[in-house]
């Protein structure tokens, strides 16, 4: 589904991604781990299409289609979703209105009519229940005055509503208490299917106790230096990242 | 002939149409002398530093409309807030249109200044209030010199006016260039409440210059909500001079929506003459092309225990220019004043300009005065966030601008006005959001 080949990305003069290769197939969950500054957030931003980065080499394709040719909106319409580490506050726009607009814009781009109001309402009810979100919360301004946990839950709620093909969870576990972590992970697990894929970007292993990865990749200094199964995450948790650095430098 | 000379030399013609043996006419001729001395404002005046009238003064304006101009309601319906029941005082090229208006003398007076000036029953009100709060600077003096027509609203005490009053001045553009000088007088009695919506609207792209003066008097415990909708052609200019005089325990608000026009200057002045007064000044300005809007506000805190709230938001694209000059004066006696002023601006283009100038003159020592001014661009991260959720960039920008302006719309108390402003903003930003904020 997602194919990243020899991806190099820079911001101004600083090269951050130095040749990433990654293939994610439908139905898979991939975890990308690594120390601070390894390029984890850059990778998710580049997949989602943030314009600050210059792609100097390599490519990204989704189901065979070149993503680099598309702007962030078009990528979203193709089914790319990224849960933000720091979701942005938008005063005056309610959660409900925002998600309705997002869904209908996506449908429009894919040649569909607006979602009927009744269906929309039903879906909102179903997904907010899944993520244990209070109905009152939905009429509040998007992310304004939300706690860290509420913001993250709201991100996953939006993901549940949009049903993306590829979901990238960028440090979704940061700032979550154990209850919120359970709710968020449960939401992600319920949405997993054989037709979609999830990339979990995280510094710590604890989220992976709840969302079981099929593959774990270690990102270090702009490259994927190690790939393994779920046990690699446990090893990293136990031993830290220093041994990876040593291995790379050896 | 320059406009000033033209105005002065035409005064005899003006006098033929009004009663010159009246107290009012003494006020007029005195104002004419002042205007003769002062002339039109130039950029040399501190108060007009950022706004030059040169480009609009060179037109050869027709000063007095030559004929009665009729327009059909269906052609101008869109300029009304037509989905609510309201009183209407409508002028076409400065002349009253009885056909489009809906006035009343039933308990309240919603009618014309020209008739109020001549009818004995209004004599006392005119004597007590006319020109009593307007400061005779250049443009107000000019308006006063020619003051003869406009809205006259007189609300007795203990009256809740149950429907809003719309005052609309249409310019047909039947002349190549038209100068209009409406003069409004609004007196709101003790413990009464009124809502007013004002609009100046041209119907063609022929040049129009409107120099309007409005005096509002709020007696004890009165409550006045005033909405100014400015969304005119790029060939129409407006100099709006509004003076609000508040007695104790009054709450008065003026919302100014500046969405179009060639040059718009809003001179908005509040005077607090009693204790426990609240003055609310809010504005949304969204400009494009070479439009220019200058908000010049004054809140004069004279008595103790009063408040003022100013919140102006501006969005400027292309080569548009904006000015916000907010002056707050707190007199020595005005202890425990709480004066708040906020002016936030977003520049969408590199060539747009905003000149923001807060001016605080505080002579009392136990006051809370805050002012804040920001000039920025739309938040890139917020745009990316919305795009990531499938919202196209243009809509995302519009949504952010809506969000930005939202604090001003929150205090609009007539839902239909709020809806209309929302629509105008959406149209201005060229988007359809599919929902109201």
- In order, the DSSP letters of A13-60 are TEEEEEEEEEEE-TT-EEEEE--TTSSHHHHHHHHHT-TT-EEEEEEE
Work out the minimum CA distance from A234 to partner chain B, whole angstroms.
32
Q: Does A102 touch chain B (CB under 8 A)?
A: yes
- The CATH topology of domain A2-249 is Rossmann fold (3.40.50)
| ipTM computed for the complex | 0.95
pLDDT of residue B437: 46
**What is the per-residue burial (b if ≥16 Cβ within 10 Å, else e) of B226-262?**
bbbbbbbbebbbbbbbbbbbbbbbbbbbbbbbbbbbb
Residue A187: what pLDDT? 87
Chain B positions touching chain A (beta carbons under 8 Å): 379-382, 384-393, 395-396, 399-400, 402-403, 406-407, 433-435, 437
Residue A137 burial by CB count (10 A; 0-12/13-18/19+): exposed, middle or buried? middle
Look at residue A71 in the predicted model and tell me its pLDDT: 95
pLDDT at residue number A98:
92
Q: Which residues of chain B have pLDDT under 70?
A: 67-68, 432-437
Q: What pLDDT shows up at residue A6?
A: 95
d(CA B427, CA B203): 18
Among chain A residues, the shortest Cα distance to B432 is held by: A101
Residues of B in contact with A88 (CB under 8 A): 379, 381-382, 385-386
Give A-chain residues touching B406 at CB under 8 angstroms: 91-92
Nearest to A102 among B381, B382, B391 (CB): B391
Over residues A213-221, the mean pLDDT reads 93
Compute the Cα dihedral for A236, A239, A241, A246 and give only its sign.
Answer: negative
Instruction: Name the pTM for this structure.
Output: 0.85
Give A131-153 pLDDT, tens digit per residue: 888 888 998 989 988 988 889 99
**Which chain A residues have a beta carbon less than 8 Å from that of B388?**
48-49, 72-73, 75-76, 80-82, 84
What does the pLDDT read at residue B250? Answer: 98
Which residues have C-beta within 8 Å of that of residue B145, sequence separation ≥ 6? B11, B28, B29, B31, B32, B35
Chain A residues near residue B401 by CB distance under 8 angstroms: none
As a whole number of angstroms, the distance between CA A159 and CA A198 comes to: 11
* pLDDT at residue A181 greater than cutoff 90: no
CB B270 within 8 A of CB B246: yes
CB contact under 8 A, A93 and B402: yes
For residue A180, name the pLDDT band (cuts at 50, 70, 90). confident
Burial per residue of A11-32, b for 16 or more beta-carbon CB atoms within 10 angstroms, e otherwise: eeeebbbbebebebeeebbbbb
């Amino acid at each position: 589904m997602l194919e990243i080949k020899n991806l190099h990305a820079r911001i101004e003069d600083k090269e951050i991604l130095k040749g990433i290769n990654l293939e994610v197939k439908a139905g898979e969950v991939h975890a990308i781990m690594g120390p601070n500054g390894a390029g984890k957030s850059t990778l998710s931003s580049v997949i989602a299409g943030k314009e600050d980065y210059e792609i100097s080499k390599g490519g990204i394709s989704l189901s065979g289609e070149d993503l680099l040719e598309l702007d962030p909106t078009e990528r979203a319409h193709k089914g790319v979703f990224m849960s933000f580490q720091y979701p942005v506050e938008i005063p005056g726009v309610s959660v409900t209105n925002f998600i309705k607009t997002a869904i209908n814009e996506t449908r429009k781009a894919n040649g569909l009519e607006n979602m009927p109001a009744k269906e929309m309402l039903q879906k909102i009810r179903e997904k907010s229940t899944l993520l244990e979100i209070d109905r009152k919360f939905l009429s509040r301004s998007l992310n304004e005055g939300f706690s860290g946990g509420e913001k993250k839950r709201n991100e996953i709620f939006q993901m549940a509503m949009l049903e993306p093909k590829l979901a990238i969870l960028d440090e979704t576990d940061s700032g979550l208490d154990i209850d919120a972590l359970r709710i968020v992970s449960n939401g992600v697990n319920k949405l997993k299917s054989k037709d979609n894929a999830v990339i979990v970007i995280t510094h710590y292993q604890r989220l992976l106790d709840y969302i079981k990865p099929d593959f774990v990749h270690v990102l270090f200094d702009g490259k994927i230096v190690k790939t393994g199964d779920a046990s690699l995450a446990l090893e990293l948790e136990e031993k830290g990242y220093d041994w990876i650095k040593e291995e790379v430098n050896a | 002939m320059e406009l000033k000379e033209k105005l002065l030399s035409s005064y005899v013609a003006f006098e033929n149409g009004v009663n010159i043996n009246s107290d009012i006419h003494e006020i007029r001729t005195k104002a004419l002398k002042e205007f003769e001395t002062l002339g039109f404002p130039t950029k040399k005046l501190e108060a007009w530093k950022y706004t030059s009238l040169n480009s609009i003064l060179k037109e050869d304006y027709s000063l007095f409309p030559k004929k009665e101009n009729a327009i059909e309601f269906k052609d101008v319906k869109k300029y009304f807030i037509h989905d609510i029941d309201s009183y209407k005082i409508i002028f076409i090229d400065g002349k009253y249109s009885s056909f489009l208006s809906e006035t009343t003398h039933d308990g309240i007076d919603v009618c014309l200044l020209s008739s109020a000036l001549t009818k004995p029953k209004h004599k006392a009100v005119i004597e007590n209030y006319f020109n009593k709060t307007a400061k005779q600077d250049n443009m107000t003096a000019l308006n006063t010199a020619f003051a003869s027509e406009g809205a006259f609203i007189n609300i007795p005490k203990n009256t809740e006016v149950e429907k809003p009053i719309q005052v609309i001045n249409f310019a047909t553009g039947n002349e190549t260039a038209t100068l209009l000088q409406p003069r409004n007088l609004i007196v709101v009695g003790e413990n009464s409440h009124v809502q007013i919506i004002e609009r100046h609207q041209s119907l063609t792209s022929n040049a129009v210059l409107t120099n309007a003066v409005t005096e509002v008097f709020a007696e004890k415990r009165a409550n006045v909500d005033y909405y100014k909708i400015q969304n005119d052609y790029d060939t129409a200019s407006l100099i709006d001079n509004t003076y609000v005089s508040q007695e104790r325990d009054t709450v008065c608000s003026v919302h100014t929506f500046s969405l179009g026009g060639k040059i718009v200057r809003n001179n908005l002045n509040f005077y607090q003459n009693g204790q426990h007064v609240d003055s609310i000044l809010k504005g949304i300005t969204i400009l494009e092309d070479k439009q220019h809007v200058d908000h010049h506000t004054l809140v004069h805190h004279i008595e103790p225990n009063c408040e003022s709230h100013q919140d102006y938001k501006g969005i400027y694209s292309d080569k548009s220019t904006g000015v916000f000059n907010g002056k707050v004066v707190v007199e020595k006696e005005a202890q425990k004043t709480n004066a708040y002023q906020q002016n936030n601006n977003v520049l969408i283009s590199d060539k747009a300009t905003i000149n923001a100038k807060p001016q605080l003159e505080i002579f009392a020592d136990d006051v809370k005065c805050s002012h804040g001014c920001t000039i920025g661009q739309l938040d890139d991260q917020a745009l990316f966030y919305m795009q990531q959720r499938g919202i196209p960039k243009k809509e995302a920008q519009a949504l952010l601008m809506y969000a930005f302006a939202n604090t001003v719309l929150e205090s609009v108390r007539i839902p239909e006005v709020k809806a209309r402003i929302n629509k105008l903003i959406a149209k201005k930003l060229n988007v359809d959001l599919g929902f109201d904020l």
